[in-house]
Amino acid sequence: MKLLFDDELRDNILSLINNSREKIIIVSPFIKLEESKEYIISLEEKSKLGIEIELHTRIQYSKKPFEYFDNVNNIRIYYQNNLHAKLYFNEIEAVVTSLNLIDYSIKNNIEIGFKTETKEEYDNLIKNFYFPKLIYNDNNILFQHRLNFLLKIVNDKGKYFEISYLEHENEILIEHERYVIKISGNDSFNYKIVFKEKKDFSKLKRFQYELRKYNYAFVYNNDNELNFEILFEKSTLIDNVFESIISDIFYEIIDNIYHIKSTIAYLLYRRK
């Protein structure tokens, strides 16, 4: 890692944002950017390019928190009131620092930070801090993150599912005419694919060799007969497993998808 101080630190954080091509993750307990317009301008420009922006912070006690983000699209804000860490990520590098994203800190404080210089260092932060401390540690954030991730995969491929939220079961259903993906916030196994036809389930079973590295289980009924279901544990699927499944194993199955019947935003805000 490279050690950074003061102006070099601030410049590297801004460069990290400007150099992003896929995502920007900002972890800052306190944020106030009424004067530091260069950060807002950079985020606005990146959001116009479709780059996803993820913000982890504490609840801001003001009448209009984050109003300077009004013109930033593709931004998701997650609140964690015990947050004290400060980190800044894009898809290839990260900065770990003492710097909050606050005007006074940016312009006046003595600050220090480290910038990742290798893929191993970056992956270590993602694996050992980002997922366990920011995502898995909060059920509400985990639930939103699952839904956002799955819908991004689906929509990136130009495919559309029917989506519904079962509030009493704390469950999202993403339904295709031949199978249903269930995302639950309650069970130890948090992702379930239920097939409506035996032939489609059999198609998946033929890929057991490819699935062996994932935490999954087939489901049996009370008569010890195999159901047309497969379950995956939450820690297995959060980043790439469904992408692999939808891309490869289910490529033929998802050719004809229903249109979305309700807005994603409605589902997300119901969980806040």
Q: What is the pLDDT of residues 10-57, one digit of tens each?
A: 999 999 999 999 999 999 999 988 888 899 999 999 999 989 899 999
- The rounded mean pLDDT for the chain is 76
| CA 14/CA 39 separation, integer angstroms | 7
Cα 161 off chain centre by = 19
Confidence of residue 110 (pLDDT cuts 50, 70, 90): very high
In tens, the pLDDT along 192-208 reads 778 787 877 776 666 66
- State how far the Cα of 75 lies from the Cα of 193, in Å rounded to an integer: 29
* Structure-block tokens of residue 127: 């694996």
**Is residue 203 within a helix (H) or strand (E), and if so which, with residue range?**
helix 198-205
Residues sharing a CB contact under 8 Å with residue 64, sequence separation 6 or more, in sequence order: none
Question: Would you state the pLDDT for residue 158?
Answer: 45
Determine the pLDDT at residue 56: 94
Q: Which amino acid is at 109?
A: N
Tell me the average pLDDT across 144-158.
Answer: 60
Q: How many residues are present in the chain?
A: 272
- Rounded CA-CA distance 200/230 in Å is 12
Radius of gyration of the chain (CA): 21
Q: Which domains does the chain have, with CATH numbers?
A: 2-137 (3.30.870.10), 141-270 (no CATH)
Sign of CA dihedral 183, 187, 188, 193: negative
